[in-house]
Structure 1
Amino acid sequence: MYIATILTLSLSLASAALGAVTPRNAPSKVKINGISLLGSGCPAGTADVQVDATGTLFEATFSTYEIQTGPGTKAVDWRKNCKLTMNMEFDSGFQFTILDTEMKGFDQIPSGATGQCKNVFSFTGFPGSATYSLNLPGPSSGNFNLKTSPGIESWSPCGGQTAILNMNTQCSLAPTHLPALIAVDSISGKLTVKFAVSWRNCPK
């Protein structure tokens, strides 16, 4: 497990890189008390998370996330995942949801094969989740940059000042006998997941 502890969100570089804009309806202060990453797609030391200063834009990068099918590959190669767990603290009277996600990487998928990536968001101790699906049908080859929105919104619970946000990123390829690849892109050497958060006042 790779754990990054961020005591305050004074990440000016991350804010500039992600183009952060302070939202009108948002807490005055957002704090990330801890981030953990665990899964076959993010071995220790191979993933990183950046959060902008407003707690609105998030970027997770994976340097060894690779899915591969074809001769000589095994079941462990056909599907990868990484679960991100983030402990958020903010002003009372607010709740948030995930607006959309953006995923960047590289694929090499022949005709007859299909890749799929899913980003599933949920809140610990609160029912429901929001799933963002990205389809990569073959034939396809090169860097990709795909955006998607959820079918169902899922808001964090009201009545407190903390929420634990979970994101499970999963990618797979099928059928497994055809040679295909989803991996880090050739420019950054990383597979990247960005997601934006929307805040609102809790109903009174």
Structure 2
Amino acid sequence: MLRTLTAGAAMLGALAMATPAQAAPDKAPTPDEMMIIDVVKANGSGCPDGSAAITVAKDNKAFTVSYSEYTAQVGPEASPLDFRKNCQLALDIKVPNGFTFAIATADYRGYASLQKGAWAQQNANYYFQGYTQTTRSEHTFKGPMDDVWQRTDQVGIGSLNFLNCGDRRFLNINTELRVNRGFSDSKKYTSFISMDSTDASLNTVYRVQWKKC
């Protein structure tokens, strides 16, 4: 295990899902029923060993993944493989008996410096181990650009990819950054896109939706 983090406050009230048209909060679990997240594996060119950190919000409504070496780039100092970076996290999320969860929204933040003619993409794919259903997203950025960026993916309640009640599966989060030089002059100028934690605002936040079984 790379890291284990335990939320120290009571878990948020789960959202009852008896019918699509009716939803009310369930009674919150007791303080000893805490969510635990184990990072089973962090693998990829964007998150080498020790460069990805996960924290859980005090109200257990979200968890944050921060990166320190997640940058894709093209330019005079970039290697041929630097145009694409990826990171796959395998998370073991333990929840109280009688509850399950799904990813409801994901906020991605970072910085991009793209020359005119260059463009970049930020892609995400998250799914439960062994499940065929996945949630995917794709965002494109076009140069010229030199600014922080933020994108939010929202998943409708009816299409939430809930873990089956009673199952214990790893939650896999696979993200990717790509830069394409397009018609920019990459022999003279560098274009890049990053997700990192140099600034506290540059991170990735995933919000979860809870359901009572």
Mapped contact 2:102–2:163 kept (Cα < 8 A): no
**Counterpart secondary structure, 1:173:** strand
Please list every run of at least 4 consecutive aligned residues from structure 1 whose deviation after the TM superposition is greater than 3 angstroms: 20-23, 150-154, 175-179, 184-187
Gaps of at least 5 residues in structure 1 are: none
**Match for residue 7 of structure 2?**
9
**Match for residue 39 of structure 1?**
44
> CA–CA distance in 1 between the matches of 2:34 and 2:168?
10
**Match for residue 130 of structure 2?**
125
Mapped contact 1:131–1:150 kept (Cα < 8 A): no
Q: Specify which structure has the higher proportion of strand.
A: 1
> CA–CA distance in 1 between the matches of 2:132 and 2:12?
30
Kindly tell me: are residues 72 and 99 of structure 1, through their superposed partners in 2, closer, same or farther at Cα, counting changes over 3 Å?
same
Kindly tell me: are residues 48 and 186 of structure 1, through their superposed partners in 2, closer, same or farther at Cα, counting changes over 3 Å?
closer
> CA–CA distance in 2 between the matches of 1:168 and 1:150?
17
Kindly tell me: are residues 22 and 95 of structure 1, through their superposed partners in 2, closer, same or farther at Cα, counting changes over 3 Å?
closer
Kindly tell me: are residues 26 and 94 of structure 1, through their superposed partners in 2, closer, same or farther at Cα, counting changes over 3 Å?
farther
- TM-score for the superposition, normalised by structure 1: 0.80
Mapped contact 1:27–1:91 kept (Cα < 8 A): no
2:174 pairs with one of 128, 144, 168: 168
Kindly tell me: are residues 98 and 157 of structure 1, through their superposed partners in 2, closer, same or farther at Cα, counting changes over 3 Å?
closer
> CA–CA distance in 2 between the matches of 1:128 and 1:25?
26
Q: Give the share of equivalent positions with the same residue, in percent.
A: 25
The correspondence of residues 64-103 of structure 1 with structure 2, limited to 5 A, is 64-103=69-108
How many residues in Structure 1 have an aligned counterpart in Structure 2?
193
Q: Is 1:196 aligned to residue 201 of structure 2?
A: no
**Counterpart secondary structure, 1:82:** strand
**Counterpart secondary structure, 2:125:** strand
Mapped contact 1:63–1:191 kept (Cα < 8 A): no
Q: Is 1:107 aligned to residue 105 of structure 2?
A: no
> CA–CA distance in 2 between the matches of 1:59 and 1:186?
11
> CA–CA distance in 1 between the matches of 2:53 and 2:26?
28
**RMSD across aligned positions (CA):** 2.9
**Match for residue 158 of structure 1?**
164
- TM-score for the superposition, normalised by structure 2: 0.77
